């Protein structure tokens, strides 16, 4: 259990509860129960950066943070909170429409030596929206395209997926949405509605589950978060249809059911989620693992939610900051970015923000 260590006053509402709640219990009853049981509702944290423009992904480095912005720039946030806007020099323009734009961003494992990173973005080809993954290199205060890793991933105004992560196997994982075409998710000839896996040079790993294919898992609607536990188990967060958002345990070659099943529904050869929201809505985005728990950034749910993998329970962990796009931990420090300027939120003064909370473990 954790306590929140006060840093500085801003109008936030943090909820840290002692009791474990059923995942289908209403949000209001969870928050009330947590507050009454531990009196841990505070209004304090540290704002690291403000006035971000539709931020999407957050990466920590020794020098601060990189944040992708959906309009097509990378922001470097220095340790002192100052920001440097880093333009992208690429052969294809970033198309920022609807949910598309500059989305996932992840550093190459050897970034400190080669200054390289990967980015996922929407572009247009012959009037059709598509997505691609590009290898970039940092040159002075900009990022320059080095190589196209994969392109032609179907895109749309909605359901572009977009998360990039380096797995514990040092391979690149890519989440793609169904591009608003449900049938794509079950089509092994389509790159959309999938989790893809590739070598760092863009080639197909020899141990991928399907021969000569980037596909690692399929049957996804719009996955936007990926993470691994210390034993290498992979999890992904996924937007459901009319609620029924999901946390899935990802296995190579597995079919996660969209659009055939959802929630507790079953069908032979299809996986059920380890957690789902039922008739509530989380609108999950970034996902991270820490000490036997998953932490999920919620957009429409406007919360960070904690999932106890052993107890199979979940609760609201952070509330009252509006839409949350991504989250990471560094020891006892929790960082997250709000996403109130994305056209679906209610922007507050100086939104969007990078926020830090220090968690102090009880003795």
Catalytic residues: 159
Contact 183, 156 (CB under 8 A): no
- For residue 190, give the DSSP letter: -
Maximal C-alpha separation, the chain: 61
The neighbour count for residue 359, using CB atoms within 10 Å, is 17
Name 74's bridge partners.
68, 86
**Cα–Cα distance for residue pair 46/268, rounded to 1 Å:** 48
CA angle 337, 338, 343 (to 5 degrees): 135
Q: How far apart are CA 84 and CA 77, in angstroms?
A: 7
Report whether 196 contacts 155 (CB < 8 A): no
Structure tokens at 343: 């056209």
Q: Is 361 exposed, middle or buried (0-12, 13-18, 19+ CB in 10 A)?
A: exposed
Nearest to 70 by CA among 296, 317, 345: 345
Overall residue count recorded for the chain in this entry:
363
State the Cα–Cα distance between residues 59 and 341, nearest whole angstrom: 20
Antiparallel, parallel or unpaired: β 83-89 and 142-154? parallel
What the block records as the tokens of 205 is: 């790993």
Distance between CA atoms of residues 285 and 274, nearest Å: 16
Planar angle of CA 239, 241, 246, nearest 5 degrees: 40
Q: Exposed, middle or buried, 11 (CB in 10 Å: 0-12/13-18/19+)?
A: exposed
Tell me the three state secondary structure of residue 275. Answer: strand
């Amino acid at each position: 259990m954790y306590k929140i260590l006060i840093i500085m006053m801003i109008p936030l509402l943090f909820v840290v509860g002692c009791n474990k709640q059923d995942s289908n219990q209403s949000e209001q009853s969870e928050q009330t129960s947590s507050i009454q049981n531990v009196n841990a509702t505070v209004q304090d944290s540290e704002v690291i950066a403000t006035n971000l423009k539709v931020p999407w992904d957050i990466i920590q480095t020794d020098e601060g943070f990189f944040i992708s912005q959906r309009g097509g720039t990378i922001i470097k946030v220095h340790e002192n909170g100052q920001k440097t806007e880093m333009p992208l020099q690429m052969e294809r323009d970033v198309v920022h429409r609807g949910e598309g734009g500059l989305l996932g961003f992840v550093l190459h494992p050897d970034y400190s030596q080669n200054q390289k990173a990967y980015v996922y973005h929407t572009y247009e080809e012959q009037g059709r929206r598509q997505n691609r993954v590009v290898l970039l290199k940092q040159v002075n205060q900009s990022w320059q395209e080095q190589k196209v890793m994969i392109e032609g991933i179907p895109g749309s105004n909605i359901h572009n997926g977009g998360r990039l992560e380096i797995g514990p196997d040092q391979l690149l994982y890519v989440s793609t949405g169904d591009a608003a075409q449900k049938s794509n998710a079950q089509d092994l000839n389509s790159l959309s509605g999938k989790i893809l896996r590739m070598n760092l040079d863009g080639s197909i790993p020899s141990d991928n589950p399907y021969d000569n294919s980037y596909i690692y898992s399929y049957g996804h609607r719009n996955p936007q978060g990926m993470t691994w536990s210390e034993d290498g188990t992979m999890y992904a967060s996924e937007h459901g249809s009319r609620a029924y958002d999901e946390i899935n345990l990802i296995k190579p070659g597995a079919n996660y059911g969209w659009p055939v099943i959802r929630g507790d529904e079953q069908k032979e050869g299809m996986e059920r989620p380890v957690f789902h929201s039922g008739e509530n809505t989380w609108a999950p985005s970034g996902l991270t693992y820490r000490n036997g728990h998953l932490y999920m950034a919620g957009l429409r749910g406007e919360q960070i939610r904690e999932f106890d993998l052993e107890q199979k329970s979940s609760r609201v962990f952070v509330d009252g900051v509006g839409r949350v796009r991504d989250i990471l931990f560094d020891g006892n420090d929790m960082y997250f970015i709000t996403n109130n300027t994305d056209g679906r939120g209610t922007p507050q003064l100086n939104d969007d923000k990078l926020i830090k909370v220090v968690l102090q473990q009880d003795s």
